[in-house]
């Protein structure tokens, strides 16, 4: 045996003391047991520390481990026109989403995806910008509105892209494109500045938000309230079951007072010329049409507009992004005359039969600077009717001087000039209604009588917007009730389908003081003669009976032209005057009031009046 005990001799190996060894062992075993006991106690304390003292913390972390809260975004409310035509819809679409945590190399992945999916050059940057809103394990949208081809191509290569998914969603679509851009606005991808204005939690699952127009003004109603799902997930994030579900409250559907046919008529009537048309129902202040031309396709912004597209819109002639109906400031020109005439009558400055002689030129006392009539040689003797019918400047020069600028300011302010109308769209321009106080405040200069004279024909400092002009015309037409115009006609909760839509009424901004209703009748009669009178400036648009239209033309100067310089066909387009026209119809029971502006159109009667006529026709056709 190789393994014999390596015990040599008794001399080398001292004898074993079994008793001593036994005692020694027992001592050691006892020590060992005590150490074991100590270790067990320490372990017990460790577990007690974790399970009792830190219980709350770990219990919470265990819960958040197992439960994933997923927002259930509400469907955005649809928008209809007053005849129930859908103007903003939600269409099923696909978007590409990416979970940063699950994707190895973000840059490479996005670059590689670019080969199968048409990503804009700035996709990387857009994605990085959006990333801040999300957590690492959230899905971040990379591209919206994938084409069918792209969805198919991705499906084939899907295995190559862990953490990238094609997700169905509802995409906003504006069926009428640029026709309604300046009314509806559009939704676009949420950015940091949008989030500052909303409840971030409510927008957790939302990708788009109203950027301008109705979409922005009624964002809260349209968006609805986000629901949520508490999901039990395992470690791979796979959903095992839904623990709790709070259904989202979908956004309200909105019905606009706008009539697409009337809108279209205005759009078409403007042709290729830049301009704006606003039509308001004088009986309730609802907006029937609101056109600003040129415009752009809002659907581009929903998808996420490319740098190139955006630049081309910016560079397009006529500034398509600019909403002329709300923001465009124009000299009112002669369209101010009916309101001044009414001021004269109501304030007792002139009588109906008071006549003024027009010889073509008007001079301030002690001045040799002529203020002209548009007709060489003048119009002869005219009273208020004739002054309106033929748009006699001299009559209104005299009237303006008799009223004085401050009374003019105060009376015109009743019609809403110089103030925002309060239309339900953001970013309205208040225009300018001058007065002595205004001029001193603005320029620190005194008021000159010559400025009163030209204010009598709506020139000088006066600036109005198309929506103001239309609202003032509506106020005139309904005998003195100024509404705060409204685009929203009714709204209804999507959840309660079948329920009656909630009617929205335009609030009344002001009931004008009426001294004598006859005075109002005089002015509207004067405006009737503008269209129907033998010498009416807009007699070219006279409709067939029985329709009767009341109107007033205006021409706004673009550049400081000498008064006697005639405009003609040879004048460069951009130097031509803006053509303005206000009208309401049917006469006596007006259901529509229109303001039309054709930029660089030239004479108001010739260029803007037919636009107003087309809008009136379309409306009456529709409401018949």
| Residues belonging to the active site | 334
Name the burial class of residue 263, with classes exposed (0-12), middle (13-18) and buried (19+) by CB atoms within 10 angstroms of its CB.
Answer: buried
Nearer to other proteins by Cβ, of 54 and 376: the residue is 54
How many whole angstroms separate alpha carbon 499 and alpha carbon 513? 40
Rounded to 5 degrees, φ, ψ at 177 are 55, -130
Of residues 89-118, which lie at the interface with other proteins (CB under 8 A)?
Answer: 101
CB-CB contact of 464 with 333 (8 Å): no
**What mask, x for binding other proteins by CB under 8 A, covers residues 465 to 494?**
------------------------------
Strands 550-556 and 249-250: unpaired
Nearer to other proteins by Cβ, of 236 and 365: the residue is 236
DSSP-derived letter for residue 75 is P
Binding part of the chain for other proteins, among 10-18, 108-116, 354-362, 557-565 by CB under 8 A, reads 10-18
**Tokens, residue 57:** 């913390």
Nearer to other proteins by Cβ, of 32 and 192: the residue is 32
How many whole angstroms separate alpha carbon 382 and alpha carbon 389? 10
**What mask, x for binding other proteins by CB under 8 A, covers residues 16 to 35?**
xxx--xx-xxx-xx--xx--
| Closest approach of other proteins to the CB of residue 1, in Å | 9
DSSP-derived letter for residue 607 is I
Own/partner long-range contacts of 21-28 (Cβ < 8 Å, ≥24 apart): none
Nearer to other proteins by Cβ, of 128 and 136: the residue is 136
**Tokens, residue 514:** 């009426």
| Closest approach of other proteins to the CB of residue 274, in Å | 58
How many whole angstroms separate alpha carbon 486 and alpha carbon 498? 24
Binding part of the chain for other proteins, among 5-13, 180-188, 296-304, 460-468 by CB under 8 A, reads 5-13
How many whole angstroms separate alpha carbon 381 and alpha carbon 374? 15
Which contiguous run of DSSP H or E holds residue 485? none
The verdict on whether omega for the bond into residue 294 sits within 30 degrees of 0, i.e. cis, is yes
Nearer to other proteins by Cβ, of 149 and 244: the residue is 244
Which of 565, 567, 563 lies closest to 363, judged by CA? 563
For position 516 contacting other proteins by CB under 8 A, the verdict is no
Q: Which of 36, 69, 243, 316 binds other proteins (CB under 8 A)?
A: 36
Q: Whose structure tokens read 């009374």?
A: 407
Which of 322, 395, 318, 409 lies closest to 362, judged by CA? 395
How many whole angstroms separate alpha carbon 379 and alpha carbon 7? 148
CB-CB contact of 592 with 281 (8 Å): yes
| Closest approach of other proteins to the CB of residue 47, in Å | 5
Nearer to other proteins by Cβ, of 7 and 156: the residue is 7
Q: Which of 9, 11, 14, 545 binds other proteins (CB under 8 A)?
A: 14
Rounded to 5 degrees, φ, ψ at 610 are -65, -30
Binding part of the chain for other proteins, among 15-23, 187-195, 268-276, 578-586 by CB under 8 A, reads 15-23
CB-CB contact of 467 with 423 (8 Å): yes
| Closest approach of other proteins to the CB of residue 22, in Å | 8
Q: Which of 10, 11, 15, 570 binds other proteins (CB under 8 A)?
A: 15
Nearer to other proteins by Cβ, of 7 and 155: the residue is 7
| Closest approach of other proteins to the CB of residue 244, in Å | 15
Which of 488, 349, 480 lies closest to 423, judged by CA? 488
**What mask, x for binding other proteins by CB under 8 A, covers residues 229 to 248?**
---xxxxx---x--------
| Closest approach of other proteins to the CB of residue 136, in Å | 9
How many whole angstroms separate alpha carbon 130 and alpha carbon 145? 17
Nearer to other proteins by Cβ, of 13 and 359: the residue is 13
Sequence-ordered list of residues with C-beta below 8 angstroms from that of 212, at least 6 positions apart, any chain:
185, 186, 426, 427
The residues with which 92 forms a beta bridge, in sequence order, are 170
Number of residues near other proteins (by CB under 8 A): 49
Alpha-helical runs (H) found in 203-249: 213-217, 219-223
How many whole angstroms separate alpha carbon 398 and alpha carbon 337? 12
**Tokens, residue 103:** 């994707």
Nearer to other proteins by Cβ, of 60 and 125: the residue is 60
**What mask, x for binding other proteins by CB under 8 A, covers residues 41 to 80?**
--xx-xxx-xxx-xx-xxx-xxx-xx--------------
How many whole angstroms separate alpha carbon 465 and alpha carbon 521? 25
Nearer to other proteins by Cβ, of 235 and 562: the residue is 235
Binding part of the chain for other proteins, among 4-12, 215-223, 293-301, 362-370 by CB under 8 A, reads 4-12
| Closest approach of other proteins to the CB of residue 242, in Å | 15
| Closest approach of other proteins to the CB of residue 227, in Å | 24
Sequence-ordered list of residues with C-beta below 8 angstroms from that of 370, at least 6 positions apart, any chain:
361, 362, 363, 563
**What mask, x for binding other proteins by CB under 8 A, covers residues 245 to 284?**
----------------------------------------
| Closest approach of other proteins to the CB of residue 127, in Å | 22
| Closest approach of other proteins to the CB of residue 82, in Å | 54
List residues near other proteins by CB under 8 A. 2-3, 5-7, 13-18, 21-22, 24-26, 28-29, 32-33, 36-37, 39-40, 43-44, 46-48, 50-52, 54-55, 57-59, 61-63, 65-66, 101, 232-236, 240
């Amino acid at each position: 045996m190789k393994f014999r005990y390596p015990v040599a001799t008794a001399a080398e190996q001292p004898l074993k003391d079994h008793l001593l060894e036994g005692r020694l062992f027992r001592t050691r075993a006892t020590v060992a047991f005590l150490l074991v006991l100590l270790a067990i106690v320490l372990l017990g304390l460790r577990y007690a520390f974790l399970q009792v003292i830190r219980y709350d913390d770990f219990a919470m972390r265990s819960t958040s481990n197992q439960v994933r809260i997923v927002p259930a975004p509400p469907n955005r409310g649809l928008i209809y026109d007053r005849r129930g035509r859908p103007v903003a819809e939600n269409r099923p679409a696909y978007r590409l989403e990416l979970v940063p945590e699950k994707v190895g190399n973000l840059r490479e992945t996005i670059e590689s995806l670019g080969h199968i999916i048409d990503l804009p050059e700035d996709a990387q940057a857009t994605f990085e910008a959006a990333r801040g809103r999300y957590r690492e394990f959230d899905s971040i949208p990379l591209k919206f509105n994938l084409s069918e081809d792209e969805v198919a191509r991705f499906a084939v290569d899907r295995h190559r892209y862990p953490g990238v998914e094609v997700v169905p969603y509802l995409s906003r679509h504006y069926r009428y494109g640029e026709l309604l851009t300046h009314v509806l606005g559009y939704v676009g991808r949420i950015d940091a500045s949008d989030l500052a204005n909303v409840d971030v939690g409510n927008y957790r699952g939302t990708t788009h938000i109203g950027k301008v127009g109705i979409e922005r003004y009624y964002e809260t109603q349209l968006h609805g309230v986000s629901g949520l799902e508490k999901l039990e997930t395992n470690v791979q994030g796979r959903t095992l079951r839904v623990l709790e579900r709070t259904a989202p409250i979908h956004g309200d559907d909105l019905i606009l007072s706008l009539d697409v046919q009337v809108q279209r008529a205005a759009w078409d009537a403007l042709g290729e010329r830049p301009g704006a048309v606003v039509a308001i129902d004088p009986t309730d202040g609802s907006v029937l049409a609101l056109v600003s031309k040129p415009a752009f396709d809002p659907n581009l912004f929903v998808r996420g507009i490319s740098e190139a597209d955006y630049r081309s819109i910016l560079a397009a002639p006529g500034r398509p992004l600019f909403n002329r109906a709300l923001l465009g400031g124009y000299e009112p020109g002669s369209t101010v005359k009916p309101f001044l005439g009414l001021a004269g009558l109501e304030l007792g400055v002139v009588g109906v039969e008071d006549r003024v002689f027009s010889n073509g030129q008007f001079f301030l006392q002690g001045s040799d600077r002529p203020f002209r009539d548009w007709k060489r040689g003048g119009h002869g003797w005219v009273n208020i009717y004739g002054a309106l019918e033929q748009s006699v400047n001299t009559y209104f020069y005299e009237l303006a001087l008799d009223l004085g600028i401050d009374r003019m300011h105060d009376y015109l302010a009743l019609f809403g000039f110089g103030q925002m109308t309060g239309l339900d769209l953001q970013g309205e321009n208040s225009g300018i209604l001058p007065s002595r106080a205004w001029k001193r405040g603005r320029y620190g200069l005194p008021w000159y009588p010559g400025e009163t004279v030209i204010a009598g024909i709506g020139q000088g400092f006066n600036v109005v917007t198309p929506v103001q002009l239309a609202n003032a015309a509506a106020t005139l037409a309904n005998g003195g009730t100024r509404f705060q115009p409204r685009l929203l006609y009714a709204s209804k909760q999507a959840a309660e389908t079948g329920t009656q839509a909630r009617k929205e009424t335009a609030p009344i901004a002001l009931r004008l003081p009426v001294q004598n209703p006859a005075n109002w009748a005089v002015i509207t009669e004067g405006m009737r003669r503008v269209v129907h009178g033998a010498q009416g400036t807009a007699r070219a648009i006279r409709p067939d009976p029985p329709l009767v239209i009341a109107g007033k033309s205006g021409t706004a100067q673009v550049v400081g032209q000498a008064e006697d310089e005639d405009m003609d066909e040879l004048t460069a387009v951009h130097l031509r005057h803006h053509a303005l026209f206000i009208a309401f119809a049917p006469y006596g029971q007006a259901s529509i009031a229109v303001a039309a502006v054709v930029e660089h159109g030239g004479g108001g009667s010739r260029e803007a009046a037919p636009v107003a006529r087309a809008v009136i026709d379309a409306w009456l056709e529709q409401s018949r």
